[in-house]
Structure 1
Amino acid sequence: MSFFVLSIVFFILTLLFTGYMRAYALKKNIIDNPNERSSHSAPTPRGGGVAVVCSYLLGLAFLTYTGQLDISVGLTLMVAGFVIALLGFLDDHGHINSMLRLAIHFLVAIGTVLSLGGFGEISVFSGVQLGFTANIIAVLFLVWLLNLYNFMDGINGIASMEAITVTISMATLYLIIKSQLNSDILWLLAACVSGFLLWNFPKAKIFMGDACSGFLGLTLGILALLALKQGTALFCAWLICLGVFIVDATFTLIRRVLSGHKMYDAHRSHTYQILSRKWKSHIPVTVSVVVVNIFWLLPIAYLTVSNYFIYPELGVFVAYVPLILLCLLYKAGTKND
């Protein structure tokens, strides 16, 4: 079976499974009711992203079984992803204490870093050795990415479009630079998420839910760390392609904490939420994210892996400056009305 055909199969599988999950959510009354953080006005079933999780895990198992994916990489992605997805699924069905949830996030992140062999050999700015500190940073990176993905999953299609454009962008870069990294798992994730997207955009018939948003954040983080094993420039390319989510979530959180708000307080002050209210629609915001990812972040990522910058870290700086300016312009972290 060609990988193109396999991607189509998993796209259709996710599409159908999402429909089943919508019927299940309606039957079990798993409904997302609008609150102070919501950008939606109508109650909508949630948990549809479970279809993405199950399809992708099944796809990883198939690639691992057929020898197309290294067994250690496959098991790391499957085990870590399953635990985070299960945690999110249970949280979707009832409330899990936030500190317990965060503790499990850290345990999974630590286990993942250990499974990947650690990152003590990593250096930045072409020579500065991080040593054991790199492992701590890697753990924090995974925990933050899986949480920020949940924060950024607030309007129709945005979390799905981010995952699709980022994975396709990075898979394209892998092909251009002839990377030894497996790009099949990126195309597979894009195919699975695309199957869910048709239920979530332009009008959301079902939401993704914590089970999938956390799963996507963690999975993308693991894929980025696998790239770090090959080189700092490729990891920086991942940071660049994920720039919209990383900058908006990080800038907003820092500004709110500095203003005296608690980290876990619900709010609607992310840049994308402000813009969705300003433009009175989710569609132009989600489409804008796709445009920025393809026409700004992807070219900068390409220049970074092509050694255009003296240091690859400068590519991240160049990519992030306009995104930070947008956060400042629209007063992210302060406007909550």
Structure 2
Amino acid sequence: MMLFIASFFGTFFLALALTPICRSLARRFDILDRPGARKHQSEAMPMLGGIAIAAAHLIVVVAGSLTLLFAQDLLRKWGILGPQWSIDLKFSEGDYALPAMILGGVVIVLLGLADDRHGLSIKIRVAVESLVAIVVVICGLRLSIPFLPTPIPEILTICWIVGLTNSINLIDGLDGLCAGVCTIAALSLGAVLIWGLQPLVASLLLALAGATTGFLIFNFPKASLYMGSAGSIFLGYSLACATALATFTMNQNVIASLALPIIVFAVPLYDTFSVIVIRTREGVSIGRADQNHLHHRLLRLGFSRKQATVFIWLLTFATALPAMTLVNSGILDTLVVLLVTLAVVGLIVLLERVQGHFDTQAPRDHD
């Protein structure tokens, strides 16, 4: 248990210390998100919060990996690593998924930083993300789908990494929204993996949750800085890689293992899908920014910004909580959880359908 506590609070306190530094650096180097037609803020906001999240997470993960590699017996002696936990980094077998994930995370952060500074096209971002995903898969990371032949699992892994990376990026539109959703998801998935005796990936997820929680103190309404693309795509990438590295059930229910992370991320995935449908229907590029995301639609329904943020957190929790029961479930249980998830998505659709009743209400700025 000490391993998980150290993972969470190590990144939490690092993010807590690094975030104000990154805020000052953003102002100094003019890396700011300025008010505009699609922006809700009234003043320029520092955008380097994502660097604090990524730095805190990567520092703890690298330090923890080196400790596990060279001093695992010492951790057991000190009681940090319990006797029931066995962590094999698999380097001796030629499986370099973890170091590839770490290096890929650095590239993703740099990509996001370039986007924050210069505004990259979606084609460039997706191309770099795809290249990183391909390299990580070549180094050993892939979804465990035993009934599918090579290279289908590898292709699906690449699609999952790129898809979730961009889905998490797209929900980063309100103070605290992206960080809160990712915290809920990481804690839920981490708890499942602790129960399922997979301490390595559980520690990765808890470290990510600690970093986002530390950052959230500065980002919850009213925020003093944003995470920017550097933070949102790093979070999406890290969550995608961690879920691809894990097996989420204690039995042979492969469907439940694959469905569990999809259910946890049902809300951001729905948001991405619905926006793509809207943009396709309107005949505009799917990479074109607009105000059709879930949080925008909630604002048009009359939610305040804080209310919209908390509501989407609750929706994420409503899908994550039943998903956690799939760790030791059968096919019938999986179907029940899928129905619950569809009900949550159905609630979102229903709210959007009755938007006409709220058309006379403008989005509110109060908390």
Please state which band the TM-score falls in when normalised by the shorter chain.
0.7 to 0.9
List alignment gaps of at least 5 residues for structure 2: 73-86
CA contact (8 A) 1:32 1:44 kept: yes
Normalised by the length of structure 1, the TM-score is: 0.87
**Counterpart position of 2:131:** 107
State the partner residue of 1:145.
Answer: 164
Q: Assess, with a 3 A threshold, how the Cα gap between structure 1 residues 79 and 62 changes in structure 2: closer, same or farther.
A: same
Mapping 1:1-337, distance limit 5 Å:
2-3=2-3, 4-5=5-6, 7-67=8-68, 70=89, 72-119=96-143, 122=145, 129=148, 131-179=150-198, 182-228=201-247, 231-294=254-317, 296-310=318-332, 312=334, 315-316=337-338, 318-327=340-349, 329-330=351-352
Give the aligned residue type for 2:126.
Answer: L
The question of whether the paired residues in 2 share the 8 Å contact of 1:57 and 1:78 is answered with yes
Displacement, 1:248? 1.3
Q: Distance in 1 between matches of 2:326 and 2:235?
A: 24
Letter in 2 for 1:330: E
Q: Which moved more, 1:89-98 or 1:11-20?
A: 89-98
**What is the rounded CA distance, in whole Å, between the counterparts of 1:5 and 1:107 in structure 2?**
32
RMSD between aligned alpha carbons?
A: 2.8
TM-superposition CA deviations, 1:251-278 (whole Å, max 9, x none): 2212321331211111111122221343
Identity %: 26
Amino acid at match of 1:96: L
Deviations 1:23-46 (A, max 9, x none): 111122211123343343432121
Amino acid at match of 1:191: G
In the alignment, is the contact (CA less than 8 A) between 2:192 and 2:248 conserved in 1?
Answer: no
Q: Is the 8 A contact 2:256 2:331 kept in 1?
A: no
Farther off after superposition, 20-29 or 305-314: 305-314
Name which of structure 1's ranges 237-246 and 1-10 shifts more when overlaid on structure 2: 1-10
Can you list the C-alpha shifts for 1:150-197, whole angstroms capped at 9, x where unaligned? 111000101101111111111112233444653111111111111111
- Would you say the 8 A contact 1:156–1:200 is kept in 2? yes
Contact 2:7–2:210 (Cα < 8 Å) also in 1: no
Separation (CA, whole Å) in 2 of partners of 1:60 and 1:82: 12
For 1:20 and 1:293, the matched residues in 2 are separated by 30
AA matched with 2:27: L
> Aligned AA for 2:311?
S
1-side partners of 2:111 and 2:194: how far apart?
35
Counterpart code for 2:21:
Y
Give the Å deviation of 1:131.
4.1
Please tell me whether Structure 1 or Structure 2 has the larger radius of gyration of its CA atoms. 2
Structure 1 pair 313–257 and aligned structure 2 pair: CA distance change class (3 A): farther
Q: Secondary structure at the match of 1:112?
A: helix
Q: Distance in 1 between matches of 2:7 and 2:288?
A: 42
CA distance in 2, matches of 1:66, 1:232: 34
- 8 Å Cα contact 1:149/1:216 also seen in 2: yes
Q: After superposing the two structures, state which structure 1 stretch, 317-326 or 232-241, moved more.
A: 317-326
Aligned partner of residue 49 in structure 1, secondary structure: helix
- Letter paired with 1:322: V
Describe the superposition over 1:41-98 as per-residue Cα deviations: whole angstroms up to 9, x where unpaired.
4321212110010111111101110116626343122111111111111221223343
Counterparts in 2 of 1:122 and 1:244: CA distance versus 1, 3 Å: same
Alignment check: 8 A CA contact 2:319 2:340 kept: no
CA distance in 2, matches of 1:328, 1:39: 25
Which 10-residue stretch deviates more, 40-49 or 157-166?
40-49
**Aligned pairs, how many?**
330
State the one-letter code of the partner of 1:116: G
Structure 1 residues not aligned, in runs of 5+:
none
